[in-house]
């Protein structure tokens, strides 16, 4: 048995052991098929991919049956995977000033020819919204040997009554508000807006802003002795300079400036504006305030603009937002490394279940690659990194390990109807009944 098989089977069996008897073994076969990349050579076809793992014809049918109509939910599989990772001594949560990042994102699985699919997602190459199965993703960020790892905590589907991306984001924010722990901060990209976070009453958030973002002070400037109508809103704050109709608009002066030098020798500079409100909000002592950080890193062309409703150090705001990036790895590892970017499932349930399992498989590959020794792809791979692609290539082509000692609860479930006739022989019809119906 190759050395990569044992840790993989240990993780997979711990994930499915809580499912019903019969379903657990069938889902173990299905997850093995995803993890070892069997979908890649079969271009996303599930039946040939399952058969290529060498589990037998009946096991293939049971695995497919458990996948599309088994009594399981993706939430219980994610809970089991999180518990497995937390039990590993090398897994550690990341925190700054006592706060840890909870990354929130949305990801599409493109299905442009799937009939009846109402949800659409913007495609940057096509430059228009295309039909896609959209999932909302919530993940905690930790590390293994200084490598950041995102563990999925929740996966949300679009509402059938309102399948828009905006409705999904609103539900994501409401769920985060209900589940966010006291030591966590929700970290999101520019697809989410400050207004939406405030309306959802998310207690702590850190989000990226557009380059042309503006805010206002939460007080009115003194206009004593000046003519004209007194202002009703605070002065405008523009964190970044920009051009409009050929004219350059200068940035507002910051309230504070911080800088520090990183390991590579570059100096990061951060400008901060405190206690701001949205441009459409008038000054109010009870208004929802936030701070804006403009982070300039010489390694990047444009500054990073973020906002938060928590008082943080400039270095903490920078570190927390960069901890959001591992959440992008999960769908990438699932689609490209596993080979599930092409999908051939069409039922209302399976079209969501397969992307959910794909995201979980991407997380499993990423976590196992970080937990175990790095494996070189070949002689040319002189400095291998613990990536999900390398771990998947080590599993590629390996059949399901029949000799691996499975727990007693992982076994096929004999049906209580095995003794009954099947198919056409089981039809309870007689010639008289058929004649009566025909008349």
What percentage of the chain carries pLDDT values higher than 90? 75
Helix axes 5-16, 350-371, angle to 10 degrees: 140
Helix (H, G, I), strand (E, B), or coil: what is residue 249? strand
Give exposure, 80-89, as e/b (b: 16+ Cβ within 10 Å).
bbbebbeeee
pTM equals: 0.89
In tens, the pLDDT along 65-112 reads 999 999 999 999 999 999 999 998 888 989 999 999 999 999 999 999
Q: What is the pLDDT of residues 247-256, one digit of tens each?
A: 899 999 999 9
Residue holding tokens 């727990």?
A: 407
Task: Give the C-alpha distances (Å, rounded to integers) separating 433 from 420, 429, 438, 439.
Answer: 22, 6, 9, 10
| Residue 375 clears pLDDT 60, i.e. is over it | yes
Angle between helix axes 350-371 and 388-395 (nearest 10 degrees) is 100
SS3 string, 101-166, reads EEEEEEEEEECCCCCCCCCEEEECCCCEEEEEEEEEEEEEEEEECCEEEEEEEEEEECECCECCHH
What residue spans define the domains of the chain?
A: 206-222+232-311
> Residue 201 in contact with residue 254, Cβ under 8 Å?
no
Reading the block at residue 227, the tokens are 């003519």
Q: Tokens 């073994």 identify what position? A: 25
In this structure, what token pair is assigned to residue 152? 């999925």
- Kindly state the DSSP code that residue 424 receives in the 8-state scheme: G
Mean pLDDT of all residues in 222-242:
86
Crossing angle of helices 57-69 and 23-35, in 10° steps, is 100
pLDDT > 80? residue 63? yes
Question: How many angstroms separate the Cα of 125 from the Cα of each of 122, 130, 318?
Answer: 9, 11, 30
Stated as kind and residue range, the H or E segment containing 243 is: strand 242-244
pLDDT digits (tens, 9 = 90+) for 135-188: 999 999 999 888 899 999 999 999 999 999 999 999 999 999 999 999 999 999
Helices (H), 235-387: 314-322, 329-332, 350-371
Can you tell me the mean pLDDT for 47-54? 95
For the stretch 265-301, pLDDT in tens is 899 999 999 999 999 999 999 999 999 999 999 999 9
Mean pLDDT of 30-47: 94
The alpha-helical segments, DSSP class H, found in 180-258 are 194-199
- Pairing assessment for the beta strands 247-249 and 256-261 based on DSSP bridges: unpaired
């Amino acid at each position: 048995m190759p050395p990569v098989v044992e840790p993989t089977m240990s993780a997979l069996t711990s994930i499915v052991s809580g499912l019903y008897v019969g379903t657990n073994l069938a889902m173990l076969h299905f997850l093995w098929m995803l993890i070892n990349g069997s979908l890649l050579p079969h271009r996303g076809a599930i039946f040939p991919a399952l058969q290529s793992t060498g589990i037998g014809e009946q096991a293939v049918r049971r695995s497919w049956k458990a996948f599309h109509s088994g009594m399981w939910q993706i939430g219980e599989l994610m809970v089991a995977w999180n518990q497995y990772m937390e039990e590993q001594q090398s897994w550690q949560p990341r925190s700054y000033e006592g706060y840890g990042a909870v990354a929130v994102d949305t990801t599409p699985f493109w299905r442009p020819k799937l009939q009846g699919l109402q949800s659409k997602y913007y495609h940057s190459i096509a430059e228009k919204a295309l039909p896609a199965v959209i999932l909302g993703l919530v993940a905690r960020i930790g590390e293994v040997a200084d490598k950041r790892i995102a563990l999925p905590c929740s996966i949300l589907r679009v509402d059938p009554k309102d399948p828009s991306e905006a409705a999904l984001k609103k539900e994501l924010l409401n769920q985060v508000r209900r589940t966010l722990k006291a030591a966590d901060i929700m970290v999101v990209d520019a697809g989410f807006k400050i207004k939406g976070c405030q309306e959802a009453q998310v207690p702590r958030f850190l989000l990226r802003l557009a380059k042309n973002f503006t805010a206002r002070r939460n007080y009115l400037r003194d206009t004593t002795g000046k003519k004209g109508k007194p202002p009703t809103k605070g002065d405008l704050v523009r964190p970044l300079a920009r051009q409009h109709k050929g004219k350059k608009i200068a940035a507002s002066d910051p309230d504070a400036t911080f800088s520090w030098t990183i390991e590579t020798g570059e100096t990061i500079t951060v400008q901060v504006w405190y206690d701001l409100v949205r441009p459409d909000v008038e000054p109010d002592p009870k208004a929802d305030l936030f701070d804006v950080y403009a982070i300039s890193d010489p390694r990047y062309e444009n500054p990073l603009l973020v906002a938060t409703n928590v008082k943080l150090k400039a270095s903490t705001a920078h570190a927390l937002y960069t901890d959001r990036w591992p959440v992008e790895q999960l769908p990438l590892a699932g689609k490209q490394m596993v080979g599930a970017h092409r999908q051939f499932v069409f039922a209302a349930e399976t079209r969501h279940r397969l992307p959910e399992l794909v995201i979980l498989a991407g997380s499993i590959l990423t976590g196992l690659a970080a937990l175990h020794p790095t494996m070189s792809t070949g002689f040319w791979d002189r400095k291998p990194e613990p990536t999900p692609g390398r771990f998947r290539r080590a599993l590629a082509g390996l059949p399901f390990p029949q000799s691996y000692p499975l727990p007693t609860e992982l076994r096929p479930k004999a049906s209580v109807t095995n003794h009954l006739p099947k198919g056409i022989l089981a039809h309870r019809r007689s010639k008289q009944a058929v004649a009566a119906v025909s008349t």
